[in-house]
Structure formats: C-alpha cells, structure tokens
C-alpha cells in the first residue's frame, strides 16, 4: 500500500527550514503532499496561488512531492487524499506544545490519522516565515533563509511588506 503523508501549513513564505522538512520527510513516505492551508486568521504576503507556485518551484528537485492547497478541516483533507499521516515540522519546544494539542484533537476526531513530528535541522531552528517578512521589511538580507525563488519575489514586492 502506498504511504501518503500530508505536510500542511500557510508557507507564507516558504523558508529553508520548511524545505529541510520536505526533503527529509520525502525520504520517509512514497508521496508527500505539501498542502497550503488558507488560514483566515492571517493576512498573507502571497496569495494562495503564488504560494503554491513558489512551493512547486522550490521543491522541483524532490520527485515524490506534490503541491496542493485547501481550506477547511485538515482531517477531512487528509482523508480526501487517501492519506493517514500528517507531518509537522518543529523548531522549538513552543512549537511542540502547540502542535501536540492540535495532533491530539485530530486524533480524537479521527483516530486513524497519525501525526509525525520532525525537528528542523539546527541551522534553521530560528527561521520563521514571520521573521523573514520582518527582516525583509527593514532591508535585511534573507538569502541564507529562503529558496532563491522566494527571495526574488519578496525583493520584488518589498515595498508591500
């Protein structure tokens, strides 16, 4: 049976920390679906379509990744994709506390779905999408923290940040 995992997130923007998780998770599963989630509580820099396109460009070197987008309940989306595993990247203990509660809720709603937590590589443990946007807003260099396609698009619209 083909093992499909879902890695959901807003990815606004995608960082090298995200890419690290995608590359490593892709070696664990037959297919990894990176799913851009519409979060109504956030005001994104990039549209959902732009984030999907940037993810496709940044992950083009990983053969078993598919990029998608969704809104609604994650457990429903996971079932629609015939998956039963959610991959969540963690940077720090605070991430774990938040993600652990979410995983327990999903487990209660749908006991078949498992959540796998992956620690990001230490070189990216301090990198966050919000931090990237703030750094770019004030003219900081983001080259080491995001894929080149993301840097290009952030610099192109830096006045909007």
Binding residue numbers: 10-11, 18, 42, 74, 88-91, 99, 124-130
Beta-carbon-side half-sphere exposure of residue 110 (alpha carbons within 13 Å): 18
Element (H, E) at 5: strand 4-9
- In the residue annotation, 148 being an active-site residue is answered as no
Coil, strand or helix at 82? coil
Tokens of 114: 């498992």
Q: Which of 42, 102, 152, 157 is catalytic?
A: 42
- With tokens 């490593």, the residue in question is 24
**C-alpha closest to that of 91 among 127, 55, 116:** 127
Contact call for residues 69 and 35 (beta carbons, < 8 A)? yes
Residue of 24, 66, 79, 91 marked catalytic = 91
Q: How many CB atoms lie within 10 A of CB 19?
A: 21
107 is catalytic: no
Q: Is position 24 annotated as part of the catalytic site?
A: no
Binding-site annotation: residue ranges for substrate: 10, 42, 74, 88
Active centre residues (catalytic): 18, 42, 91, 129
């Amino acid at each position: 049976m083909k093992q499909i995992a879902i890695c959901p997130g807003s990815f606004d923007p995608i960082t090298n920390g995200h890419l690290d998780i995608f590359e490593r998770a892709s070696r664990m599963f037959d297919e990894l679906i990176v799913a851009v989630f519409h979060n109504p509580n956030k005001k994104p820099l990039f549209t959902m379509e732009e984030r999907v396109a940037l993810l496709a460009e940044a992950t083009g070197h990983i053969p078993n990744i598919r990029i998608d987008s969704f809104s609604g309940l994650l457990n429903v989306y996971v079932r629609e994709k015939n998956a039963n595993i959610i991959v969540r990247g963690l940077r720090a203990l605070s991430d774990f506390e938040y993600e652990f509660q979410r995983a327990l809720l999903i487990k209660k709603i749908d006991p078949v779905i498992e959540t796998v937590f992956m620690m990001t590589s230490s070189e990216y443990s301090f990198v966050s999408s919000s931090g990237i946007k703030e750094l770019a807003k004030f003219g900081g260099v983001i080259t080491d923290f995001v894929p080149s396609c993301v840097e290009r698009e952030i610099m192109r619209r830096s006045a909007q940040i």
